Structure 1
Amino acid sequence: MLFQIVSLLLEVAASVLGGACLLRLYMQQQRIPMSASSGNPLGRFIFVLTDWIVLPLRRVLPAFGRWDLASLVAAWLIELAQFSLLWLFQGLAYSYAAVLILACFGVLRLVISGMTGLVIIYAVLSWVQARSAMADLIDRLVVPLLAPIRRFMPLIGGVDLSPLVLLVLLQVFSIVLGYLQGAALL
C-alpha cells in the first residue's frame, strides 16, 4: 500500500513538471508568445514551473533549430528522477538500465497523454464556441496536429471529425508504445 501511495505521488509530480517542460518545448517550437504581456495566461505559469530546471540546462544544451533541447532533457530528467526513486524504493529490484529506458518511455507517454488532453479540451471548446485567450492558445497548439488529418478527411454533414481521428491515433500510439516498452525491457 505504501508503495502505491508513493508511486501515485511521484507520478503526479513528474507528470505536472515533465508535462510543463514538454508544453514549454512545444509552445516555443510553435512560436507561441509566453510572456504575460502577450495575453497568454498559461505562458507565465509554465515559465515559473520550469525555469528552475530548464535555465541551468540551457547553459550546456543549445537549442536545435526551433527545438529547445533543454526543455526536452528537463522532462527526461524529471521522469528519470521518478523512476530512480521508485527503483530505490523497491530495493534495486532490477537493473538501472531499465530505469533509463523507462524514463525515455515515460517522456513519450507524457507527450501522448498531454496531446490527448489538449485535443479533448479543443473539442469541448469547439462545441461551446468559447472565445478567450486560453481557447485561442489551445487552438494554436492543436490545429497543427489536425491539419494533416483534415487534408484527407472532409467534413461529414458539417461536422469535423478530425479530433476524433486524432484521439484514436493517439490511443493506437499509446498501445504500440506499451508493447515497445515491454519488448525493450526484456
Structure 2
Amino acid sequence: MLFEILTFVLDIVVGLISGACLLRLYMQQQRVPFGNPVGQLVFALTDWIVLPLRKAFPTKGRWDMPSLLAAILLVLVQMLLLWLLTGAAGSVLALPWLALCALAKVALSGLMGILLVFAILSWVQPHSPIAGVLQRLSDPLLKPIRKLVPLVGNVDFSALIGLIALQVLLMVLAYVQAWGLRAIVSTGL
C-alpha cells in the first residue's frame, strides 16, 4: 500500500512539473506570450529547474531545449526512484525507456487537458483571459481536424475528435511501452 501511495504522489508531482516544462516548451514554440495567467503559472512551476539548465544549454530559436531537458530529467529521476523503491528489481536499462514513455504520456495528457479546457471555455466563457492562450495552443491540433470535419449544425466537434484521437494514442503508447519492456526483459539486460 505504501508503494502505491508513493507512486501516486510521485506521478502527481512529477507529472505536474514535467508537464509545465513541456507546456513552457510548447508555448515558446507556438510564440504564445507568457504575460498571461497560464504563462505566469508555468514560470512559477519551472523556473527553479529550467533557469540553471539554460546556463549550460542555451535556447536555439523557437525550441526551448532546457525545458525539454528538465522534463526528461524529472521523469528519469521518477523512474529511478520507483526502481529503487521496488528493491532494484528488473533491469536498470529499462529506466530510459520507461522515462520516455512516461514523458510521452505526460505530453498527451497535457494536450488532452488543453483541448478539454478550451472546449469547455468556448461554451461557457469564450472571452475569459486564458481563452486566447488556449485557442493558440489548441489550434495546431484542431486545424487539420476542422479541414476534414465540417460544422454540424454550427457546432464544432473538432475538440471532441481531437480528444478521442489523443485517447487512442495513449492506448497505443501503453501497448508500445509494454512491448518495449518485454523486449528489454527478454534480452536479459
For Structure 1 versus Structure 2, the TM-score category normalised by the shorter chain is over 0.9
The match for 1:139 is 135
After superposing on structure 2, the runs of 4+ consecutive aligned residues of structure 1 that deviate more than 3 Å are: none
Using the size of structure 2 for normalisation, the TM-score is: 0.92
1:16 aligns with 2:13: no
Give the residue type in structure 2 aligned to 1:104.
Answer: L
Structure 1 runs not aligned, ≥5 long: none
1:56 aligns with 2:52: yes
Structure 1 Cα separation of the partners of residues 15 and 32 of structure 2: 22
Deviation at 1:61, TM superposition (A): 2.2
RMSD of Structure 2 on Structure 1 (CA): 1.2
Q: After superposition, give the CA deviation of every residue in 1:73-99 in whole Å (9 maximum; x if it has no partner).
A: 111111111111111011101111111
The aligned length equals 182
Deviation at 1:64, TM superposition (A): 4.0
Q: After superposition, give the CA deviation of every residue in 1:152-173 in whole Å (9 maximum; x if it has no partner).
A: 1111111111111101110111
Q: After superposition, give the CA deviation of every residue in 1:15-41 in whole Å (9 maximum; x if it has no partner).
A: 111011011001111111113xxxx01
Give the residue type in structure 2 aligned to 1:32.
Answer: V
Structure 2 runs not aligned, ≥5 long: 183-189
**What SS does the aligned partner of 2:130 have?**
helix
Give the residue type in structure 2 aligned to 1:2.
Answer: L
Structure 2 Cα separation of the partners of residues 44 and 117 of structure 1: 18
Aligned match of 1:71 in 57, 67, 79? Answer: 67
Structure 2 Cα separation of the partners of residues 151 and 62 of structure 1: 37
Aligned match of 1:116 in 112, 121, 135? Answer: 112
**What SS does the aligned partner of 1:185 have?**
helix
Deviation at 1:44, TM superposition (A): 1.7
Using the size of structure 1 for normalisation, the TM-score is: 0.93
The match for 1:4 is 4
Structure 1 Cα separation of the partners of residues 27 and 81 of structure 2: 29
